[in-house]
Amino acid sequence: MLDKLKGIEERFGEVERQLGDPSVFGNSREYARLAKERAQLQEVVDRIRDYRRALDEIAQYKAVLEGHDPELRELAKEELPALRQRQTDLEAELRRLLAPRDPNDERNVILEIRAGTGGEEASLFANDLFRMYTRYAENHGWKVEPLSLSTTGLGGLKEAIASINGRGAYSRLKFEGGVHRVQRVPATEASGRIHTSAVTVAVLPEADEVEVNINEEKDLRIDVMRASGPGGQSVNTTDSAVRITHIPTGMVIVCRDEKSQHKNKARALKVLRARLLERAHEEQDAKIAESRRSMVGSGDRSERIRTYNFPQSRVTDHRVNLTLHQLERVLDGGLDPIIDALATREQAQALGAPVQAEN
């Protein structure tokens, strides 16, 4: 373990030297890459230094125990338990920091919400979820930008696509992808019967242009359409809506929310890049999953990841068997208790067997 920690410290020193190199300072892309790497290494290096100090202090007190001064030996006996606990805590923290990380964790997010089974009630709940994620993002200081919203006449959402920009957005929101089930009495239900509806959520890491190579001339068919809207508004008289078809995959992205054709095209390309990046990751993951299935079998897996039960004010996440009787708080953006539990599970799976430290 100490050899691995030494390698991280050496890399941190090398990155700092490179950041001080005038030739790197003049290359904005390379400087940004190194600055990001330094920021990621900083927390680990700080813990490594704390860990080394704890080991040094333990060694010093062990030497005191072998000495002849009874008062110093007694002091060492009193101090060593706390220092050993400090060592154990730092080892656990280092294992967490050194565990394999999702390379997309620091990315921005493309969030897609779609009403599923349940008709208008599903659309209304899709709107509730969009508000929930918007409030959650605001609580974390992230910026939400709607890219495409398809509304219903009763205030629901057939589909919502938005970008969420902020440090660590994907690391938290990636757990939200899946089928969200709602159980409640619709406002239009005279008999008071509980209905069950479903909404699908997709969380995609936003792709950089350099990661997804798109040849606009060969790969894209771009159609300009007349956006629909209330009569008399300029959106009715301008061909501003944009539909982009990615010819190699058949993916179709439509953006119509902006009056500017240029802005709608930029938004559609952002969504397309995210979907293409996700597709590439899924193809890679499918190969790994197929290998895993051959070893452990497919197992029984329910489609839903979470249920929101209004009559009981209950939210249950089925992946970690966590139930909270705080439905209103969760729908107001209070998702952290659920996401914390899911992140803890992911960390435990990544850590595997604990690493034994050298003494």
- Please classify residue 237 by burial: count the beta carbons closer than 10 Å to its beta carbon, then call 0-12 exposed, 13-18 middle and 19+ buried: exposed
Q: Give kind and range of the element (H or E) at residue 124.
A: helix 119-139
C-alpha to C-alpha distance for 219 and 244, rounded to whole angstroms: 10
> Dmax over Cα atoms in the chain, in whole Å?
95
% of residues, the chain, pLDDT over 90? 31
Task: Please tell me the least confidently modeled range out of 109-123, 166-180, 218-232, 338-352.
Answer: 218-232
- Contact call for residues 305 and 299 (beta carbons, < 8 A): no
Q: How far is CA 104 from CA 108, 126, 196, 204, 288, in A?
A: 9, 26, 34, 9, 18
pLDDT band at 238 (very low <50, low <70, confident <90, very high): low
Q: Name the nearest CA neighbour of 46 among 15, 105, 90.
A: 90
Judge whether 19 and 38 are in contact, CB under 8 Å: yes
- The whole-number pLDDT of residue 359 equals 34
Q: Please tell me which residue, 70 or 287, carries the higher pLDDT value.
A: 70
And the tokens for 65?
A: 């125990």
Domains and CATH numbers, the chain: 2-98 (1.20.58), 109-292+304-347 (3.30.70.1660)
What digits encode the pLDDT tens for the residues 202-231?
A: 888 887 654 566 777 788 888 887 765 544
Strand 220-225: give its sheet, edge to edge: 220-225, 241-246, 251-255
Token duo for residue 304: 């839903």
pLDDT of residue 220: 87
pLDDT at 187 (0 to 100): 72
At 15-50, the pLDDT tens digits run 999 988 888 888 888 888 888 888 888 888 999 999
Between CA 97 and CA 340, with CA 318 as vertex, the angle to 5 degrees is 30
Pairing mode of beta strands 304-309, 178-184: parallel
Neighbours of 189 (CB within 10 A): 12
Query: Residues for the chain: how many in total?
Result: 359
Amino acid identity of 356? Q
Distant-in-sequence, close-in-space partners of 288: CB < 8 Å, separation ≥ 6: none
Summarised one tens digit per residue, pLDDT across range 239-297 is 788 888 998 888 898 888 777 888 888 888 888 888 887 887 777 566 545 543 433 33
- Output the pLDDT for position 290: 54
Which percentage of the chain shows pLDDT scores above 70? 85
- The region of weakest confidence among 74-83, 209-218, 324-333, 350-359 is 350-359
* CA-wise closest residue to 130 among 111, 108, 153: 111
Q: pLDDT grade, residue 351 (50/70/90)?
A: low
- Helix (H) / strand (E) element for 110: namely strand 109-115
Residue 173 is predicted with a pLDDT of: 94
Task: Find out whether 131 and 163 touch, Cβ atoms under 8 Å.
Answer: no
Question: Distance between CA 15 and CA 39 in Å, rounded?
Answer: 10
Beta strands 109-115 and 157-165, pairing class? antiparallel
